[in-house]
Amino acid sequence: MRRLRRVKIVATLGPASSTPEMIEKLFLAGADLFRINMSHTSRDALRERVADIRAVEAKVGRPIGILADLQGPKLRLGVFAGDRVMLDAGDHFTLDGDATPGDRTRVQMPHPEILTALEPGHTVLIDDGKVELKVIEVRRDGHAAQAIANVVVGGAVSNRKGVSLPDTTIPVSALTGKDHSDLEAALDAGVDWIAVSFVQRPEDVAEVKKTARGRAMVMAKIEKPQAVTRLDEIFELADGLMVARGDLGVEMPLEQVPGIQKRITRMGRRLGKPIVVATQMLESMISAPVPTRAEVSDVATAVFEGADAIMLSAESAAGQYPTEAVATMNRIGIQVESDANFRTIITAQRTEPERTGADAIAAAARTIAETVDIKTIVAWTASGSTGLRIARERSQTPTVALTPNVATARRLAVSWGIHAVVTEDAHDMDDMTQRACSHACDEGFAQGNERVLIVAGIPFGSPGATNMLRVAFVNPAGTGGR
């Protein structure tokens, strides 16, 4: 089942898309990887969703990726005596550790570490930024603390509303107790990617990778200003990044988000690490069968920029038109990649390959494929690193990744332009050539008498040993090559 686009589609599962029948429909409409949001999914439901996806995978005969998205620390206010209050601009309002129901002058912040970390001048955003406070004084008495703030932007505040702290580095791990349990459950269930929410520092990623121990790839969600300031360090540790524009747009000025998205997308391509662009991409399709023109343009911009994947959240999880949303995203991807400007933009963003043998081979493969009449690049890859190196090049020539590891094929479901096929490893050069040509034909990428370019590592079965290029002719019958 060959996709007609290179950018991948991530679809979030939820109440509108939790049945095996709907999962299959979403895959057939264009979804390459499914996201399970642990903020709204129990561990039992997680296992059921993974089993359902694997059943669809077996039915359609294609590897499907699964991303488990950890909730991360959720900061919320306490409760009010009347369930809600109205704060006016210019009022003073206190956040403290007292569990007594709040009023127009104060409320509990049931996170003592937050009260300790706040400093005068820090901004406190409530309810996705609808209400804004500015801390003017912090009083500390032993372990107790309270922050007195000025109301900059007023509005209604009700019980347990979410809190964002754009200026404050929270002195806690990105993993809560719930996240630790969810992480273990996700790894046991066999998910392929773990998304870490509210990353602030590289140590947040390292903590998850230490637990995962290679059982799943780790994706850092960039949704806090603190993460933006340490992107280089986070990129070095993470296997991929997600531009989580929703929370990022709350904690940073909205006008800065598009530039950050471009910066992350280009850094990911330079480093050969998958980048997912997420949040509100086709938001109106939660309740409408067609998107707005602005949303189509937004999705198209991510595709033009060369993002590895674009993601649907509530559109596919809880919307009225989940299949239509995926199909719409699929059509946008196909149209953008066929636009005359697409190749110009993608080529202009290309950077010099890193000084490694694998990167040199990948760059050479792209050059040869675009110079000679090569129908497809066929890469033998055990760990997936060769596939990622080739994806980094954004070649015009389609890429088929052959791997003996189903986990590798599933992980590559998020990588740009990679069509992964699970097959046993090559035994020798002749076997490598014959089966590379056969798979290229079977998957619809080549026909008899056409040429394919084979990328592999000698000796076979040695991860990271990419060191060989070979041009092969497909036999007239399309059953092998020479």
Model confidence pLDDT, tens digit, residues 217-246: 999 999 999 999 999 999 999 999 999 999
Q: How wide is the angle at C-alpha 441 spanned by C-alphas 438 and 446, nearest 5°? A: 125
Question: What DSSP letter does each residue of 133-173 carry, written as one string?
Answer: EEEEEEEEETTEEEEEEEEEE-EEEETT-BEE-TT---SS-
Model confidence pLDDT, tens digit, residues 363-389: 999 999 999 999 999 999 999 999 999
Q: Residue 3: inside a domain, yes or no?
A: no
**Inter-axis angle of helices 257-271 and 385-393, to 10 degrees?**
120
What CATH code is carried by the domain that includes residue 276? 3.20.20.60
Q: In whole angstroms, how large is the CA radius of gyration of the chain?
A: 24
> Of 164, 187, 206, which closes a domain?
164
Cβ atoms of residues 222 and 244 within 8 Å:
yes
Going residue by residue through the chain, which has 482 residues, state the pLDDT in tens, using 9 for 90 and above: 799 999 999 999 999 999 999 999 999 999 999 999 999 999 999 999 999 999 999 999 999 999 999 999 989 999 999 999 999 999 999 999 999 999 999 999 998 889 989 999 999 999 999 999 999 999 987 667 899 999 999 999 999 999 999 999 888 888 999 999 999 999 999 999 999 999 999 999 999 999 999 999 999 999 999 999 999 999 999 999 999 999 999 999 999 999 999 999 999 999 999 999 999 999 999 999 999 999 999 999 999 999 999 999 999 999 999 999 999 999 999 999 999 999 999 999 998 888 888 899 999 999 999 999 999 999 999 999 999 999 999 999 999 999 999 999 999 999 999 999 999 998 899 999 999 999 999 999 999 999 999 999 887 766 667 889 999 999 987 777 77
Cβ atoms of residues 378 and 456 within 8 Å:
no
Alpha helix ranges (H) inside 338-479:
340-348, 357-371, 385-393, 406-411, 429-442
Listed in sequence order, the residues at least 6 apart from 336 whose beta carbon sits closer than 8 Å to its beta carbon are: 7, 300, 303, 304, 342
> Of 144, 164, 184, which closes a domain?
164
Q: How far is residue 146's CA from residue 18's CA, in Å, rounded to a whole number?
A: 44
Q: Residue 350: inside a domain, yes or no?
A: no
pTM of the model: 0.94
Picking from 237, 264, 269, 235, the residue whose alpha carbon sits closest to that of residue 248 is 264
Give the bridge partners for 196, in sequence order. 220
Q: How far is residue 412's CA from residue 192's CA, in Å, rounded to a whole number?
A: 9
Domain count, the chain: 3
Q: What DSSP state is assigned to residue 275?
A: E
Task: Tell me the longest C-alpha to C-alpha distance in the chain.
Answer: 83
* Domain of residue 367, residue span: 357-473
Same domain, 158 and 209: no
